[in-house]
Amino acid sequence: MSNHLTKNIIFSVLLTASLVGCADTPENQEKETVPTNVAEQINAEEFESVNDVYDPLEGFNRVMWDLNYDYLDPYLARPISLAYVDYTPNPVRLGIANFFANLDEPASMVNSFIMQNPEDAVAHFNRFWINTVFGIAGLIDIASAADIPPPSSRAFGDSLGYYGVGNGPYFMVPFYGPVTLREGVGDAADGLYLPLSLLTFWQSLGKWAFEGMEDRAALVKQESLLEDSPDPYVFTRDAYIQHKNFRATGGETPVDEAENEEQFDDYLDEIDDY
């Protein structure tokens, strides 16, 4: 099973609600921010129409979207995710998030090398061995305390995109959310790296569930953008593809966009002179 299922935009269905009922968090306790992947990078500026979307199964995908958006998310994923975030003690949540993030460091290291970013690759390597050895198998983020902050995670799907491989067909899968062919192939390749390759099906499912709860809860603040969209399906699809394209560039703005931004800044300066 893929170990990066939670990199999708909206829907993460979880099967692990047992932690929620027994946890107790003081009402006035300030909640600690737990690192997430997708949600932290989503903003209104990213939600623009993209031209390289290949959606040959749009009719089927829209039916799956309605199933996810109208039923699975509001009645399952969203309430359980919010319950997990609200009632699980922050140290427990943070330890779980750190542990699973640490499992992804070797894959991110390899893909950073592939994407010609040796500095990030070295950081991923150092974070993995330091947190594994001194951080109780990654439960504690000792590396960040040692001034080695986490670089952006990298998947093999990003590496393929970096070298010009297109996203391929777009799919909306029930209980799963959006995915492209490139991402699916990339996730399968990343699952071959240690220690991800050692996870059983149920362990991979648990990783997906816990990471999915964090990502889904973090997306609550973005729900108004979706609700205000005239076509939420296209809105989500284009945002998802644009997010994947952004990751494939290594997080860099294309040259033509940078030039346009510079010209726009010059235009604003001219206006200010009047």
pLDDT tens, position by position, 150-203 = 999 999 999 999 999 999 999 999 888 899 999 999 999 999 999 999 999 999
Q: What is the mean pLDDT of the chain?
A: 80
- Closest among 180, 182, 181, 178 to 156, alpha carbons compared: 182
Question: What does the pLDDT average to over 92-120?
Answer: 96
DSSP state of 121: H
Give domain limits for the chain. 11-17+49-273
**Which is more confidently placed, 269 or 125?**
125
pLDDT of 97 over the 50 cut = yes
Confidence of residue 227 (pLDDT cuts 50, 70, 90): confident
Confidence of residue 3 (pLDDT cuts 50, 70, 90): very low
Can you tell me which residue has the tokens 């192939």? 185
Percentage of the chain modeled with pLDDT above 70: 73
pLDDT of 7 over the 60 cut = no
> Which of 11-25, 53-67, 163-177, 220-234 shows the lowest mean pLDDT across its residues?
11-25
> Which of 87-96, 97-106, 258-267 shows the lowest mean pLDDT across its residues?
258-267
Confidence of residue 14 (pLDDT cuts 50, 70, 90): very low
Question: Considering Cα of 225, then 100, then 150, then 191, what sign does the dihedral take?
Answer: negative
Question: What does the pLDDT average to over 38-59?
Answer: 62
The pLDDT assigned to 253 comes to: 54
Q: Which two tokens stand for residue 263?
A: 């010209």
201-218 and 90-103 are packed helices; what angle lies between their axes, rounded to 10 degrees? 120
pLDDT of 231 over the 70 cut = yes
Q: What is the pTM (predicted TM-score) of this model?
A: 0.72
What CA–CA distance (Å, rounded) separates 155 from 112?
A: 9
**Which is more confidently placed, 251 or 93?**
93
